[in-house]
Amino acid sequence: MTNLEGRVILRRGAITPPEGVRSDLEVIAGLGREAGLAITFETEPEAVFEELRRASAGGRRLRGDLYQRIADEKGVFWPCPTDTTNPGHPACCFADTFDTPDGRARFVVPVYAGPAEATAMRRTRCT
């Protein structure tokens, strides 16, 4: 997880779940299997982190072998270069430019389109 200050941290379970309770990653992997998808979803947090790290390899993102560093150092700042000793950049990531071709931010005004499906909500009165 990346918090508001730009620190990439690991979120760990507070307690051991009861027998038979699946993690979010296991639920997502199960949905993929049930949907008949040709890809396999990872269920181990470190493998998912590595996949996200590889996907963000371009530009100023997470690079290097960071998972153990994040665990040991209680987080590193994003972006973090490949240097395994660099703590990252704790300053505002977008103080000067944004990660777009011209360096400028993109603002989009959302247009409310209503619900995708009709709801079956029943109105009741409180007495």
Q: What is the mean pLDDT of residues 69-94?
A: 72
What is the distance between the alpha carbons of residues 110 and 99, in angstroms, rounded to a whole number? 21
Query: Which is higher by pLDDT, 53 or 49?
Result: 49
What is the distance between the alpha carbons of residues 42 and 24, in angstroms, rounded to a whole number? 11
Query: In which band, very low, low, confident or very high, does the pLDDT at 100 lie, cut at 50, 70 and 90?
Result: confident
Full residue range of the structural domain in which residue 49 is found:
7-77
What is the number of structural domains in the chain? Answer: 1
- The answer to the question of residue 13 being in a domain is yes
Q: What is the dihedral of CA 14, 15, 16, 19, to 10 degrees?
A: -120
pTM equals 0.59
Token code pair at residue 8: 């990439």
- The answer to the question of residue 104 being in a domain is no
What is the distance between the alpha carbons of residues 80 and 14, in angstroms, rounded to a whole number? 27
- The answer to the question of residue 63 being in a domain is yes
Token code pair at residue 102: 């011209």
Number of H helices, E strands in the chain: 3, 2
Query: Which is higher by pLDDT, 110 or 63?
Result: 110
- The answer to the question of residue 70 being in a domain is yes
Summarize pLDDT for 28-52 with one digit per residue, the tens: 999 999 999 988 899 998 898 888 7
Residues 6+ apart with CB under 8 A from 69: 76, 84
- The answer to the question of residue 45 being in a domain is yes
Inter-CA distances, 58 with 54, 61, 68, 80, 123, Å: 9, 7, 21, 12, 51
Inter-residue contact 10 to 70 (CB < 8 Å):
yes
